[in-house]
Each structure stands twice: as structure tokens, then as C-alpha cells.
Amino acid sequence: MLITIIKDKDYLPMDLHPNHFDLISPDGRITSLKDSKATLTIEGISPFFVGFDIDQSRISFNLKSSLAQVGVDSRMTHLIFDKAHGRAEIEIELFPLSKMGKEMLTLLKKGALIGKLFAADDRRRVHDPRYLSRMFKRSDRFGAPLLSLGGPEGSSSMVLERVDNVAIAYLSVLEGVISYESTIEGFLPTMAKALMHKISIRDFLQLHQRFIPDEPRLLKENHLLLIKTPPLHVRTVFARVAKELLPKGYIHTSADILQPDTKASGDIYELYGTSPLELSEIPLEFYTLEPYREYIFFADRDQLQTCLDSSADLFAAFDTAPESQSSVFIVKGSQLKSLKTDDWLVRDPHKHDFPGISHSERQGLLAEKYIHQQPTYPFLKAITEGVITSQGVLFCRYFPSPLLKSALLNEAVIRCVKGLYFRYPSLSHEDFFSHEDFALLNDLSKFGIPVFWIEKRHGKILQFIQKNPGESGMFVPLDMIKKFKESVMFGIYGSNLLEGNFEQELISFFKELQAAQKNNNWPLLDKNKPLALITGGGPGAMEVGNRVAKLLGILSCANIVDFRAKDKKNIINEQRQNSYVEAKMTYRIEKLVERQAEFNLDYPIFLTGGIGTDFEYALEELRRKVGTVSAKPVLLFGAPSYWRSKITYRFQSNLQSGTIKGSEWISNCFYVVENAKEAFQVFEAFFSGKLLIGKAGPVYDEGFVVASYLFHTPLAPTDAS
């Protein structure tokens, strides 16, 4: 579970702190020492330490390995927790295993840091060896192996087995033993002083050790046996010596825990006891980390992927989100299915009026402060710093602020975040994206982070999909993604006030086109390519287009603008979204022009319309003139007299003034049709290469072609198209 308690000024949740592991405590400091008995106090224990909530028989004291290696062992006799203050008091017995250990005990003083608690929670014990074996030959983002013995690729010196339903690794022991040089006697006082501070002394201790390769690995009375294995890398689990699986008579010291930051170390083991047998292997058992620190790959999370494929699970998860800006990082299926409101990280960012680039320093500081206040930021920060290592998905109640772009497109985040899910595009504009949002969506798509809209209005899961080539994209139902990517895109422009009388003609036209597509080998309308139709998503002519598309199994799409009245002076009619839209993108009113550029239609169709339709007509005309689209036919449904009143006067004025010199041919791209038959004739001629269109085609003085006139005479094949 990901928690919402704040740790520092960067709003980092406590359980995402880089120094926190929930199975282990900080080091305990000696508060009293008499003979062999010591009392230790541990301060600053995380409230999420598992040891607070499990049976104390599962909690052990883990002595510092440096003390064990010089012949000291310990036994915990009493433990008292003060969870409210993050504190523990421990009583232990310290006893020597050798002459050197006896000397070390005389040097220990009050205040020395000598070990920590480990919570061997049985729920976190690894049972299946495959959990570990899949980590072999895998590495973190810095190239360090996740699990190996004997080098980055090494695993042959480690045997994984299931013993009594527990995963056990048997580490091969190297021939020989470790002994000490005489200089160790002078080092022990320094070591005792170092224990008073947080100073690592393992590397210094190794300077006084020597490996004797031919010495037999046998236990001797009053003697500590130090043996060596190949260097061990442990990043994904806690490892613990499985003492009950050691040969009879062998005892391992209480320094038996290998932490997840073990890198090319963890290769010395301290043993004592009585046995005639020579030790050949060390058995280890394992305990998992917090889910987000396990280095688990998304491909290995079968249950999570199953949950993400379930609309019911996703909607149920988002129903737990607080009604405010909130986020949560999900790394396993059980976490998603048991999500609670308290698991979401909640923020209320304070908005500021940014002063602009002329005040660059203030601008930068305010922007940085705003970024840090976003609920998504702590997770992105933890991923970047390597605290979150498991791959997962990011849930956000609201689509993240575009100011987070640099954090979202960080190399570590791209590697770790395998999906971004949100319920609402905007806190202030509800279902409508800003143009900066759209740019971020395109960037996330390019960098391989899929984005999903848990769209509550219609109860659908939509994924943002770019339609190549170009920068355009839409939120598409999951079962229609392939259809969207491969589709030939038709479009309907027209009034939001009038449906007109074109519905039956459109149905007949598309039916005839679909039938002809199956029976002809047209390169520009391949029989294997699905059809899609896009409108503005509103009422009137747009609703007609989407309704026809859905009726005929054509993918029904829309680019929807927020036309809601902002004040009483706004005279634009509020535009409701029609109910026939399947795939969509939304835009705010101030980005109306940018939205229009995203239609990217292969074949536009115009119905009766007003000012907006006139604007859209001019853009389609301009696209063909400047060559951003090739010369393809545009249908103008209606009477020639209607289109003359809209188009002819302007075209002839431009023609006579010479302002469209060299572009007069644009008139052969627009075809007035009054019924489905004429509409189909235009496309049949175009797809079969018989339509004179483009720069090599004729100029029509009215600014368009009347299809009924054109098809009175047969058309000759041409390469102009």
C-alpha cells in the first residue's frame, strides 16, 4: 500500500523514503552494558515496520556482520515496542566465539551501534523458486545485476530448490577459509570507536583478513570458522541464512541477514559449533520487499495485467479516488483490487500567476513549486531516485499537468511506468484537454507510455492512439484500436443546428462504397482497410454523421470542442455531445483553430452549415493548395444553388484579382452532389483513376464541379490523381 504521510519538503511519502525498508529497523545503540548483557535502544523506527504487527517470535536481532567476523555473537532475550514513538528496547546477551571475540567485547562501550531488528514475516517469504530465477541475467537501469552469484551473469554456483514449500538457494562454498593477520589486534580499538558512529568498517576489516585456499573447512572447538562464497548480488529480496538446513552441528551467527543493497559482497559467513563434516554450501531463504521495490517487471505481473484488462476492476479502483487531485502507483494486481481511498496520495496545488519570462528566476521557482505540489510528483521523484524499482502503472484522478512533462519523460520513468490511467482530463475544464495536454499526450505516446481514459460519462476505457503519419491522435475504445490505426478517414462537416435531409443519402452512399471496396482492387481504398468517420461530435449534421457511421459499422469518431457558455455575453449555442461517438479527442474553445488542424481527413464531406462550416471549407481548400494533403475529392452535399451562394462569388473574385494565380485548379477538388448515386460516382471515378483532379486537371469557374454535369459524358483514365 502506498501511504500519504509527508516526510520532507519534497512531499515524499514516508514509505517511499530511500532509506526505508519495512522488514528491518534502524541500528540499535547500546544504552547499558554489564558483563555479557546489553540493553539497546532503537529510535526512528518507521510506522510501517512490519515487526510492529506480527508475532514477536518472527522477529530476530541481526548483529552487525563486522562484529560476527571478529568472533562475537548475540542472542535476543527481551523486546519491547513503543510504536507510537517509533521506538524499541532490546535486551541481548553477547558472547565470544574466539579469543579475538573476547577481546572485542572488552572494547564495546555504551553508545555503540551493533545491530538491528529483522521481521521475518511469513507472508513475505518466497515460496516459488521461479520468483528468484527470473531475476538471473536481469539488471537494474545502471546495469547492476538483480540477482547473481559469482559475477553479473553468474548463477551456476547457486542452486534454487523448493524445500518444505520454501524457496531455498544453496550457495557453493569456495575451497579454503578466511583467517586474520596479526594487525587485527591493533585494529579492534578503531573498530570499537567506529561502532559509536555510522561508519562502515567492513572494507577496513577486509584489509586484515587473508584467504587460505587449501585450509579445510572444518569446525574446531572455541574457534570461529569464516568461509567464503563467490560474490553475491542481492537487489530484489532480503536473504537470510536458513540455519535449520545447515549440516548438523553447524551454527551460524546472528549476523544472518543480507540486505537488498548487497552488491558483490555478502560473501563471508561466520559459523561455529561441533561437527566432523566439511561444509560445502550455505542455504539461504528469502523475503520479498515492499511491492514497489521488488524490481518486478510488468511482463511478470500476470494478475495486474488481468485487472487492467477488466473494465469493472478499473472503474472500481477509480471509484475509491478522493474527490480532489490524487494519484497512486500500482505495481501488483492485489494492490489494485484492494485499493482504498487512503491509498491515494492527495494534493491541493496552490495556483499562482506566473510572472513570465521577463522574471525568469521567479517564474522558474514558482513553476518548480507548483510541480512539487502535484500528487504525481512524489512517485516520479521516487522512480527517478531509484526508490521505486518495480514497473507498474500510474493512476491519476486528473490528467497530469503538462508542467510535469520533463519528469514524466525522464529515462527512469519511461522504463518504469507502463501505463498512465486517469478519470478526468481537467480539474477546471472537466472533459476538455488543453493544447499543452495534447502535446504531452503525443510525447507520452512517442516514448512508449500508453495513456488510458477511464471515461465515466459513457462507462468506457479509451486509449490515446496516434494515427500515423502526423501528430494527430484520439482516445479510442480498446477493441477498436487496430481499426482506428488502419482506417481510411472520412469526415462530416456541417451545422450543429440543422440535421438536413441527408441521412438516407449518406447511408446509401457508404453502403455502396463498402460493397464496391470489397469487389474492387483499388490501391487508394484497399479492401482490407476499415472505414472511419469523424465529425465535431455535436448535434445537427454531426450527429447525423456519427449515427450513420455507427449504424454501418464504420468507426464513429469526433473532435469535440468545449462550446459551453462562459458568461451571459457568449452567444454561441451550447453544444451537447451526441451519443453516437466511439473514439474522440476534446479541445478547449480557445484552441479551436488548433483543433481543426487535427482532423487530417482523407475524404471530407460537407453538409449544410454556417460560419464554422465556412471556416472548415476554407481550411480544406488551403490544405490542397499548399500540398499538406494530396488532391483528393471533397463532396459538397446539397443543391448547386446553395453552394454557388457560398463559394462561387469568392472564387471568382480571387480569380479575377489574380490572387489565386497558379492555384485555380483547386476548383476541381470540390464536387457538388445531390444524392448517394452522384457521390459514389465521384469516388468510383477517383479510385479507378478516371477523375481529372489536381494541378493537371481543369479549372471550374464556379469554384467546384457539379457532379450531375460531369458524369453526362464518359471519363477517360488519367494519372492526375
Domain limits, the chain: 125-176+216-289, 290-466
- 103-109 long-range Cβ contacts below 8 angstroms, 24+ apart: 103/185, 103/188, 104/67, 104/70, 104/71, 104/72, 104/188, 104/191, 104/192, 105/36, 105/72, 107/188, 107/189, 107/191, 107/192, 108/30, 108/33, 108/38, 108/192, 108/195, 109/30, 109/33, 109/192, 109/196
Mean pLDDT across 494-504: 87
Work out the pLDDT band at 575, boundaries 50, 70, 90. low
pLDDT (0 to 100) of residue 7: 35
Work out the pLDDT band at 407, boundaries 50, 70, 90. very high
Nearest residue to 51 (alpha-carbon basis) of 16, 17, 18, 86: 86
pLDDT (0 to 100) of residue 3: 31
pLDDT (0 to 100) of residue 352: 62
pLDDT (0 to 100) of residue 652: 95
The answer, yes or no, to whether residue 128 has pLDDT greater than 60, is: yes
In angstroms, the CA 521 to CA 285 distance is 65
In angstroms, the CA 528 to CA 542 distance is 27
> Quick check: 144 and 235 in contact, CB under 8 A?
yes
Q: Which neighbouring-strand residues pair with 605?
A: 492, 635
pLDDT digits 0-9 by tens, 365-385: 877 888 888 999 999 999 998
Name the CATH topology of 290-466: Cytidine Deaminase; domain 2 (3.40.140)
What CATH number does domain 125-176+216-289 carry, 3.40.50, 1.10.3470, 2.70.40, 3.90.1200? Answer: 2.70.40
The answer, yes or no, to whether residue 717 has pLDDT greater than 70, is: no
The answer, yes or no, to whether residue 574 has pLDDT greater than 70, is: no
pLDDT digits 0-9 by tens, 475-486: 999 999 999 999
Cell, residue 483: 481499426
Nearest residue to 409 (alpha-carbon basis) of 363, 374, 449: 449
pLDDT (0 to 100) of residue 200: 86
pLDDT digits 0-9 by tens, 319-342: 999 998 999 999 999 999 999 999
Work out the pLDDT band at 262, boundaries 50, 70, 90. low
Work out the pLDDT band at 350, boundaries 50, 70, 90. low
The CB density around residue 624, as the number of other CB atoms within 10 Å, is 21
pLDDT digits 0-9 by tens, 648-684: 999 999 999 999 999 999 999 999 999 999 999 999 9
Collapsed DSSP state (helix, strand, coil) of residue 205 = helix
In angstroms, the CA 630 to CA 469 distance is 14
pLDDT (0 to 100) of residue 12: 42
Query: CA Rg, the chain, in Å?
Result: 36
The answer, yes or no, to whether residue 14 has pLDDT greater than 50, is: no
Nearest residue to 500 (alpha-carbon basis) of 633, 607, 597, 618: 607
pLDDT (0 to 100) of residue 621: 92
Work out the pLDDT band at 719, boundaries 50, 70, 90. very low
In angstroms, the CA 501 to CA 6 distance is 62
By DSSP bridging, strand 325-330 and strand 250-252 are: unpaired
Q: What percent of the chain has pLDDT over 90?
A: 69
125-176+216-289 and 290-466 have identical folds: no
Calculate ∠ Cα 352-356-359, nearest 5°: 100
First to last CA, the chain: 61
The answer, yes or no, to whether residue 10 has pLDDT greater than 50, is: no
Q: Which neighbouring-strand residues pair with 271?
A: 225, 252
